[in-house]
Chain A
Amino acid sequence: MARTSAYQLQIGTDSDDANARILLADGALVAVLVELSDEGHGEDRGKWTIEATFGLRHERVPDIFPSLESAADWVSEHICEQRFNLGADVVRLA
């Protein structure tokens, strides 16, 4: 089983989508998740996207997830087979 951890940080996307989480499994970065905050996203505002994945082999990554938890669950299911704790343990990097 992978040891997972999550960090909160700001990300530069050339838009107002700045609130991000990076997910690590056994100390290695596996995914970057970003909240869709820019008003250009219309009704998708507040939902989350998986901006980047590392180590994913086959799957097509869905574009948009209804919540941070559902995006992280997708990463668990397809990359590291271990759930992420996204609550109080998340370390703020910025």
Chain B
Amino acid sequence: MTNPSTAKLAPEPLGGENPLIKKLGRYVPLTEEERAALNTLSCSTRKHNQGADLIAEGDRPECVFLMMEGWAFRYKQLEDGSRQIMAYLIPGDLCDIQIFLFDKMDHSIGLLSDAKVVKIPSGDLLKMMDRYPRIERALLWATLVDEATLREWLLNVGQRSALQRLAHLFCELCVRLSVVGLVDDDETFALPLTQAELADTTGMTAVHVNRSLQRLRRDKLISTQRGKLTILNFDRLAEVAGFDESYLHTDGPPVEQKLRSRLDRHM
């Protein structure tokens, strides 16, 4: 095991680097050995098509999915076809690192776009967590952030206005996507979502989503163009939404922040 306080830190992430490493690297400074281990874990990607389910409610979960490219979403559906979307999974996101503890999925995970996904056997992930306790900590950290995000979405659907729900969602996506390097300098990012999917996420009708998007455009807070969204004024959009990014905990645990600043001083 490498001692993190003496190990050589790998160079800063380059464009195109493994999104899992980019994401976990925000939580804990990763050594080259840890990066190599994460690369090995995520090397065999498979392409999947938009609209497919990675796993459906009732299925037995035998592996953990890691998103490398494209978007997925968690959802549950009622008999009449009504659907609630509970999470978006973007590159670098793992779907439930301990899902194998359940014998059946209580929700489905579908694809919002074409995607590259790694199926990680639960045993491999457990072994990695045993061997690299700091990666384990980063993964648990990511899981806690997923739960915090779900709480925020619940607050969104239950208490915020229509306009705020969308504004909040766009602010959140901008922060999350920027962690994995998927936001351009002018705060433009791919948004592979239909208005119906936004409606199912925010508990609104598609008509209401349409009107709210129009309002955000008229107020020059966002612009949209063919599957992409640009945030024209992040601060004002965040103000409209009441968005405070602290629930995303992008700076990592306090102990790692201290370690990071100590390492930065010595490099």
A interface residues with partner B (beta carbon < 8 Å): 13-15, 17, 36, 38, 40-41, 49, 59-60, 63-64
Contacts and interface: CB of A to CB of B under 8 A. Distances in A.
B211 A15 contact: yes
Nearest to A36: B207
A14 B81 contact: no
Most buried by A among B80, B199, B205, B213: B205
Interface residues of B, number: 13
A13 B215 CA distance: 11
A32 B214 CA distance: 22
Given A60-B80, A60-B82, A15 B205 contact: no
A17 B82 contact: no
Nearest to A58: B80
Q: Helix, strand, loop or mixed for chain A's interface?
A: loop
Most buried by A among B78, B207, B211: B207
B128 interface: no
A10 to B, nearest CB: 16
A40 B213 contact: yes
A47 B207 CA distance: 11
Contacts of B207: 17, 36, 41, 49, 63-64
Q: Helix, strand, loop or mixed for chain B's interface?
A: helix
Interface in B204-250: 205-207, 210-211, 213-215
A60 B213 contact: no
Contacts of A64: 206-207
Interface string B54-89: 000000000000000000000000101110000000
B219 to A, nearest CB: 11
A59 B81 CA distance: 11
Contacts of A38: 210-211, 214
Nearest to A48: B207
A38 B211 CA distance: 8
B81 A40 contact: no
Given A49-B205, A63-B205, A63-B206, A13 B211 contact: yes
Interface in B76-126: 78, 80-82
A41 B205 CA distance: 13
Contacts of B213: 40
Given A36-B207, A63-B205, A63-B206, A15 B82 contact: no
B34 to A, nearest CB: 48
Most buried by A among B78, B199, B210: B210
Shortest Cβ-Cβ A-B pairs, 5 listed = A40-B214, A15-B211, A49-B207, A60-B80, A60-B82
